[in-house]
Amino acid sequence: MIVDIHTAVGRWPFSAAQSLTPLRLGSLLARAGVDLALTSSLEAVFHEDPAEDNRRLFRQLRGHKRLLPVPVINPRLADWRAAVAEWAQRAVAVKILPSYHACSLASGAGSLGAGVDGLAEELAGRRRPLLVQMRMEDERVQAPALRVPAVPVADIVALAKRHPRLDIVALGAYRLEAGDLLRQTARVRVDVSFLDGLDVVAVLVKKHRAFAQRLLLGSHAPLFYAQASVLKVLTAETTEAVRRAILGGNAAQMLGL
Amino acid sequence: MIIDIHAHFPFGEYKHPADLDLFLRRARRFKVERICLSGHVNRYGFNPTARQVREINSWTLEAMARHPEQIVGLCFINPAAGAGAVRRELDWAIARQGFRGIKLWVSVNCRSRKLDPVLARAQELDVPVLQHASYNTLGKGAPHESTPADVADLACRFPAVRLIMAHLGHARVQGLTEIAPHRNILVDISGSQPARGLLEEAVRRLGAQRIVFGTDLPIRDYASILGRLYEAPMTDQQRRLILGQNAARLLRLETR
């Protein structure tokens, strides 16, 4: 089973590409060979309170066999517990976008990160993974007037150290960042969407065999072409077992699928 | 036929002659038949001497000699080295060693008249020029780095020279509009991430006959670049042009 941990529906305002409905996203992923995908709302990236976007997402994906809805939670909202209560039972994971919602993962103290530790604790208790969106775009090609920095590796490492029982998936790490995250933490996982370089998946796994259990297929579709990520894993010069794990086995295990 | 018009060897961690085998194995995995090597362009910084340029091109020549069926050489040039040095290097590489094109990076901006001897000789030798270009929201990567608008200026000055602007991924739509009127500019599809939409935009604005497949290997990989080309909606004929037919014509390579 091929599981794509990193997809979305909706419209991305900085791209010429058209908005993708769940139906079109599903068919595009099917063509890339993806059996199951975790899907969030792109509109939720920009809304201070993503509650309505999450509700629309769950309605849109109801009955869709290939797409599993993942709610976005803004930990800066004082009622984040209500959001967790509303969604955590129905979702296999929860996503946060620290750069877009201006919350910090670096420290449990202070208003910028106040909700993050509570959310992390809550999700660890419920055995739900936390997906941390490191970036949505290559910073070099962002719209000049709307630059959003990436989430620093050090912040994710710090969060992981404060919450050792929590499953964290860093979405959108570059190759060097991925190496740092995998080396500096025991269980942070990384998706392959922004990884690049000559046979990058095989290179990472060759450096440390254990990394194979912490790499996940993520395409960042529809912002990115899904086939790019699928091909990175399918063609990696490593063992069939490693390829299968990254394509879906690791995700299935983490999500209890 | 698939031709990768933009790759670098040696480069970064891939330093030893045997590492080239990794490139070739990867290329075979994706049915890429020819790889155009531009050399280790950043080995000596932004402004290498004539001697350093020769060293870089000698490594490319070595790769060409070891794998004549797969490797095509593009001659790396630093136009700031002066007209005499440029001419000597181009005559050595293209006229005597069989390099099939010229690679320009960030030593000199495209608007500089220091480029004129390079382009004049490219016209005489009838070889294409692969020119790095980028729009970068974070600022220029090098003081003299060229933008697509700069490449358009160069194309205007030398309308008979075929220019390949590197890095569609960094061109933005703005860059496509700037190069679109200049029929002697093609663009390679390397650069940045596999963001949906830009390749379709390039096909719409330039036409598939002005787009070539290039990866910037080993910085990027065939998976992420070919993934774009295989998924973007276009006709099979357009895809064939981009994958190799355009490059074969440019480089005067035999097609199968």
Average pLDDT over residues B19-31: 97
- Residue A113: band (very low, low, confident or very high) from pLDDT cuts 50, 70, 90: low
Q: What are phi and psi of A191, to 5 degrees?
A: -95, 165
What is the longest distance spanned by two Cα atoms in chain B? Answer: 47
For tokens 């650069």, the residue is B191
Distance from CA of A232 to the nearest CA of B (A): 5
Q: Hey, what domains does chain B have and what are their CATH numbers?
A: 2-251 (3.20.20.140)
Please check the confidence at residue A211 and state whether its pLDDT lies above 60: yes
Smallest CA-to-CA distance from B228 within B177, B191, B194, B188 is with B194
Q: Please tell me whether residue A63 adopts helix, strand or coil conformation.
A: coil
pLDDT in tens, A145-172: 889 999 999 999 999 999 999 999 999 9
Opening angle at CA B37, ends B32 and B43, nearest 5 = 140
Contacts of B66 (CB under 8 A, 6+ apart): B17, B20
DSSP string, A103-162: ---S-SSSTTTHHHHHHHHHHHHHT--EEEE--SS-GGGS-TT---PPPPHHHHHHHHHH
Best residue in A142, A171, A196 to probe B by mutation, most B CBs within 10 Å? A196
User: What per-residue confidence (pLDDT) applies to A112?
Assistant: 62
> What pLDDT, in 10s, does the model give residues A115-136?
899 999 999 999 999 999 999 9
Beta bridge partners, B185, equal B163
Residue A111 pLDDT > 70, yes or no?
A: no
How far from A169 is each of A254, B84, B214, B226, CA to CA, in Å?
10, 56, 32, 26
Across the interface, do A16 and B200 touch by the CB < 8 Å criterion?
yes
Taking each helix axis from N to C end, the angle separating B222-231 and B20-29, rounded to the nearest 10 degrees, works out to 20
Contact criterion met (CB below 8 Å) for B186 and B162: yes
Q: How many CB atoms lie within 10 A of CB B1?
A: 16
Buried b (16+ CB within 10 A) or exposed e, A59-74: ebbeebebbbbbbbbb
Can you give the pLDDT at residue B71? 98
Q: How many CA atoms lie within 13 A of A84 on its CB side?
A: 23
Percent over 70 (pLDDT), chain B: 99
Which residue in A has a C-alpha nearest to residue B29's C-alpha? A235
Average pLDDT, chain A: 94
Across B60-88, average pLDDT: 97
Model confidence at B79: pLDDT above 70: yes
For residue A174, give every residue at least 6 positions away whose Cβ sits within 8 Å of its Cβ, in sequence order, or none: A194, A195, A196
Give the integer Cα–Cα distance in Å for A4 and B91: 52
What pLDDT, on the 0 to 100 scale, is given for residue A39? 98
Contact A225 B226 (CB under 8 A): no
Query: Residue B4 has what pLDDT?
Result: 98
Q: Do B196 and A222 touch (CB under 8 A)?
A: yes
Predicted confidence at residue A3, as pLDDT, reads: 98
Q: How confident is the model at residue A15 (pLDDT cuts 50, 70, 90)?
A: confident
B168 pLDDT more than 70: yes
- The pLDDT value recorded for residue A19 is 80
Q: Is B135 on the interface with A (CB under 8 A)?
A: yes
Of residues B213 and A104, more confidence is placed in B213
Residues of A in contact with B177 (CB under 8 A): none
Note the pLDDT tens digit of each residue in A45-99.
Answer: 999 999 999 999 999 999 998 999 999 999 999 999 999 999 888 999 999 999 9
Nearest Cα of chain A lies from the Cα of B224 at a distance, in angstroms, of: 4
Residues B136, B133: Cα–Cα separation, whole Å = 10
Q: Which residue has the tokens 């440390």?
A: A208
Rounded to whole angstroms, the Cα distance separating A20 from B45 reads 44
CA angle, B252 as apex, B1 and B85 as ends, to 5°? 125
How does A78-93 read in b/e, with b if 16+ C-beta sit within 10 Å?
A: eebeebbebbbeebbb
Residues 150-179 of B with CB under 8 A from A: 169-170, 172-173
3-state secondary structure of B65: helix
> Region A4-18: what's the mean pLDDT?
89
Predicted complex ipTM = 0.95
What is the arithmetic mean of pLDDT over B167-189? 97
Range of the domain at A188: 3-255
pLDDT on residue A109: 54
- Counting the structural domains of chain A, the total is 1
Q: CA–CA separation, B142 vs B80, rounded Å?
A: 15
What whole-number distance in Å separates Cα of residue B163 and Cα of residue B159?
9
Q: Please check the confidence at residue A20 and state whether its pLDDT lies above 90.
A: no
Least confident of A18-22, A69-73, A82-86, A197-201: A18-22
CATH of the domain at A153: 3.20.20.140
- Both structure tokens of A61: 């994906």
Within 12-71 of B, beta carbons closer than 8 Å to A belong to 14, 22-23, 25-26, 29-30
CA A241 to mean position of chain CA atoms: 23
Instruction: Determine the angle formed by the axes of helices A22-31 and A226-234, rounding to 10 degrees.
Output: 30
Question: What is the spatial order of strands in the sheet that A36-41 belongs to?
Answer: A3-9, A36-41, A67-69
Q: Express as a percent the part of chain A with pLDDT over 70.
A: 97
Q: Most confidently modeled of A18-27, A202-211, B202-211?
A: B202-211
Sequence letter at residue B48 = P
